[in-house]
Amino acid sequence: MFSTLKAPLEPSLSLAERLAALTSVSACYQCKKCSGGCPLTFAMDFYPDQVIRLALLGQEDQVLGCRTIWVCSSCETCTTRCPNQIDIAGVMDWLKEEALRRGFASPQPGVTRFHQTFLDTVRLAGGRLSEPLLLGLYQLRSGGTIAKLKSGALTADLRMAWELARRRRLVPRLPHRLKGVKEIKDIFANAAKQEKP
């Protein structure tokens, strides 16, 4: 896995110092229990213990650009089992947010787009999620509709949507509009301008 490193390691402390405000990353002694219990390693480019190690070594481009942070399902097994109480799943979240802020291209654009579309949908609908709006917007933003149509993937999606719709589980209507819609707007506006420590 480390063979994917493209440059010699140049330790830099700033990333580790910033992460230290979140959790005790420097306590990692590389027991690899996080990776041992992680159900998603088959889809990752770095194992979770390698992400922690690379972060400690200040390898910002590696950890902020890696696939691992985006395919992590946040199941929290690593955080639960770490013998040094490192919030590893929390580190994955922190790295995703930092990667977005610094404009790293996501190696999992679909996953990233899904998260962003989810939050846009909640904001647009005034505080609650509309699942049909989320799925429609996600499909639109993902593009490639013709290719999906040709491969049969779109037909499968539409068939599933129909199966849910006829069970009244996917009804094209907006959620109930909240009285606190202004509060929700403020929460989103405030979160958009927050700077991390």
Partner 1 sequence: MKVSYYPGCSLEGTAIDYAASIGGVSRHLDLELAELEDWNCCGATAAHSTNHQLSLALPARNLAIAEAAGRDVVVPCALCFNRLKVAEKALQGPEGAHLGVSYQGGIKIWDLLDYLSQDAYLKDLAPKVVKPLTGLKAVGYYGCMVARPPAVTDKKDAENPQNLERLLKVLGAEPIDWSFKTDCCGAGLAVARPDIIDTLVQRLYERALRTGAECLVVSCQMCQANLDMPQKRISKAFGKDYYLPVFYFTELIGLALGHPEVKKWLAGHLVDPLPLLEKLGFRF
CA 28, CA 22: separation in Å to the nearest integer? 14
Q: Which is nearer to partner 1, 13 or 119 (CB)?
A: 119
Contacts of partner 1 in 36-55 (CB under 8 A): 39-40, 42-43
**Interface mask (CB under 8 A) for partner 1, residues 69-108, using x and -?**
--x-xxxxx-xx----x-x-x---xx-xx--x-------x
Could you give the angle at the alpha carbon of 72 between the alpha carbons of 70 and 75, nearest 5°?
145
CA 91, CA 191: separation in Å to the nearest integer? 19
Q: What number of H helices and E strands is found in the chain? A: 12, 0
| Residue 168 binds to partner 1 (criterion: CB under 8 A) | yes
Minimum distance of partner 1 from residue 95's CB (angstroms): 10
Q: Which of 20, 116, 136, 148 binds partner 1 (CB under 8 A)?
A: 116
3 state DSSP class of 101: helix
| Residue 16 binds to partner 1 (criterion: CB under 8 A) | no
- For tokens 């650009």, the residue is 65
What tokens were used for 55? 């972060």
What tokens were used for 63? 């950890």
Q: Nearest CA to 24 among 118, 87, 82? A: 87
Chain contacts with partner 1 (rule: CB under 8 A): 39-40, 42-43, 71, 73-77, 79-80, 85, 87, 89, 93-94, 96-97, 100, 108, 110-116, 118-119, 122, 127-132, 135, 138, 156, 160, 163-164, 167-171, 175-176, 178-180, 183-184, 186-188, 190-192, 194, 196
